[in-house]
Amino acid sequence: MAETIKTNAPAWAEASAMAGADMRVNLCGIELANPVMPASGTFGYGMEYRELYDLNLLGAIVTKSVTLEPRYGNELPRIAECTSGMLNSIGLQNPGIEHYMSEDIPMLRKHYHGPIVSNVSEFSVEGYAEAVGKLNSLDDISMFEINISCPNVHHGGSSFGADPALAEEITRACRKSTDKPLFMKLTPNVTSISEIAKACEAGGADGISLINNFKAMRIDLKTRKTITSEKYAGLSGPAIRPIAMRMVNEVYHAVKLPIIGIGGIQTADDVLEMIMAGASAIEVGSANLIDPWVCPQIIEDLPKRMVELGITNLNEIRGVV
């Protein structure tokens, strides 16, 4: 077991700012010591990673998607490697909202004192509203990320995020269930992601998270079947980063909401590029599965790169293109 990194994240953020590289960001009134957070589904509830480093280094933690009822997820195999990325078809496996509220969030809070972002997924407008309403009572949850973009479930998922009217309806329903910041997580599998973002803005969203995985597939030449049990899985990793940045930039110019940029981020330079495209903060996804220390490494490298590039704070480079 690696030795846990011991640090006081807020004090460390102050020290970085005094050194000429202010990494702090503000998301809808919630201050993050830095813009780096793990993406939903790649970090569980943080319990495995807490054995490797101090979770308080992270700007925020986005929990694995929770649904009202427990879910086993899709059948195995549901992970496959591919060039410059990976495929997954997990299928929203989770223990359900009651366990999440009584066990997972309290356990995470014992080890992490920063903002917790609760990722929520469901299969109907009413289901989303009910789940958010239940979770809204938890003071430990700082904000919500509503997953209307999962590419590997048969009902709901990305079909919600591909229809502007449905996206707006779900946003509006969730908005009525909480007064906490509400970020809508969008699918890239659409003709115009800007139109979906505008619909979420009209429905009362406080921010946009993008992107989720691209629908993709691989075939085993010997069995002549797809490598994953589900025919189509979600492509993530560095292969999608340039497309993710393009979509972040499109949405940045289409709405007046903060954006959390997601897609293939592995380094401090990737973070700076994503912020230059228009993101206020970022999430690191599949890179966590390859290198569990990737988030603290990015956080350590980020102020150094900022100083080298003459960047004093992240606000000055946001959306420069």
From the list 28, 150, 174, 295, the catalytic residue is 150
Q: How far is CA 99 from CA 33, 201, 288, 297, in A?
A: 29, 31, 24, 32
| Rounded distance between C-alpha atoms, residue 269 and residue 277, angstroms | 12
Non-local CB neighbours of 57 within 8 Å, separated by 6+ positions: 5, 7, 9, 12, 295, 296, 299
Could you tell me if 74 and 65 are in contact, meaning their C-beta atoms sit under 8 angstroms apart?
A: no
- Encoding tokens for residue 225? 């079947």
b/e map 236-271, b = 16+ CB within 10 Å = bbbbbbeebbebbbbbbebbebbbbbbbbbbbbebb
The answer to whether residue 200 is catalytic is no
Instruction: Write the DSSP symbol of residue 71.
Output: B
Q: Which residues are catalytic?
A: 150
